[in-house]
Amino acid sequence: MARRLYASSPVVDGLPLLAEPEFWAAHLADLYDGALVESFGVDVADVEVMLDRLADKAAWPMFRIPLAGGHTVLVHYNNGEEYTSTDFFLVHPAWRANELVLASTDADRIGPGLCWAELAALLDAPGDGEGVTDPHARLLLLLPVLGDTNVPAGAVTRVQEALVAQGAAHACEPLARRLLKGHPMWGAAPWSYDGDERAWICEGAHSPRKTPLGDHLPASHRTALEDCLTPWEA
């Protein structure tokens, strides 16, 4: 089953890793063909070293993306003795540890957890507290959660700009297109917006978004969550 946030786990702040050029090639390794690694502008051997660091059982990197109203997306490398996974949680202090799992590379494979419209809305969203605020870094961190069969043409340009901003070659459009095809554990799926529920719904077989996100939360919490994820008129 999907991992949970464990208070006793050896979590370390992953923010310093974002400054290391090979981090992005390692973080996104599952999404692209290995032949494209050179598009990141890094050495393959350095990427392998970074992959080992991300899988360190003594130090589990976690990245915090602060959003409005106290909501936070956590990107959590979970490096247990038996299993490893990368888990993406949406949390809020008022939820009493009932974090929402957006995606997980756990054996049960949970995803996709975001459509393009939601992801794009989160990139420039103001946040409460410290964490990853740069829109380019947010986009690349959250790309593994994405799985949308209807991404607009401009998404390729936006991903390409994010890659270049993080050190990739300018001629990285093939890599950008590949990264938008979805994680191989769940791929891309159709999404539709439910106006009554004010929520995006995913048709993916492994998606946690087949029902409105946070539909078990109290009404006030659910409204705040909806406002956080859809700060625009769908």
Q: Domain extents for the chain?
A: 11-229
- pLDDT higher than 90, residue 81: no
- pLDDT higher than 90, residue 88: yes
Pick from 120, 115, 74: nearest CA to 95: 74
Q: Determine the residue type at 194.
A: D
Based on the number of CB atoms within 10 Å of its own CB, is 164 exposed (0-12), middle (13-18) or buried (19 or more)?
A: middle
Pick from 180, 182, 207, 203: nearest CA to 192: 203
Enter the pTM of the model.
Answer: 0.92
pLDDT for 111 equals 96
Both tokens assigned to 179? 């990264």
Distances (CA, A) of 102 to 48, 50, 72, 114, 170: 27, 24, 12, 7, 31
Give me the percent of the chain exceeding a pLDDT of 90: 65
Backbone angles phi, psi at 116, to 5 degrees: -60, -40
pLDDT bin (cut points 50, 70, 90) of residue 2 is very low
Q: What is the pLDDT of residues 176-233, one digit of tens each?
A: 999 999 999 999 999 999 988 888 999 999 999 999 988 888 888 888 887 777 654 4
More confident: 82 or 193: 193
